[in-house]
Amino acid sequence: MTSQRPGQRQASRPGKAANVKVVHRDQKHTVLEVVLREGKNRQIRRMMARLGYKVRDLVRIKIGPVSVRGLAVGAYRPLTRQEVLRLKAVAKTSF
């Protein structure tokens, strides 16, 4: 165990990007689709900053096997029976 001074934050291990795909590119902007296996707080913004890029917009489209496309910010919906079964299956294989 390492000692830490008050006010210091312990560095966390970065999550892993499973896949990065260029969706659209023009003269000024590039749209990427990034699939993470394990997302950490502000991970995508930090990865892009290390490469010299700034993230203008970031949109989550899936959480595990559940799509959130078209769902307004702050909105929610009931999970379908199929989504519940898929989430349970993913949870069993994660541990």
Distance (Å, whole) CA 94 – CA 41: 20
Task: Look up residue 47 and give its two tokens.
Answer: 């990865």
pLDDT digits (tens, 9 = 90+) for 39-82: 778 888 998 999 998 999 988 888 888 999 889 989 999 999 99
pLDDT of residue 13 exceeding 80: no
Structure tokens given for 7: 């006010």
Question: Strand 17-25 vs strand 62-63: parallel, antiparallel, or unpaired?
Answer: unpaired
Cβ(15)–Cβ(39) below 8 Å: yes
Beta carbons of 36 and 43 less than 8 angstroms apart:
yes
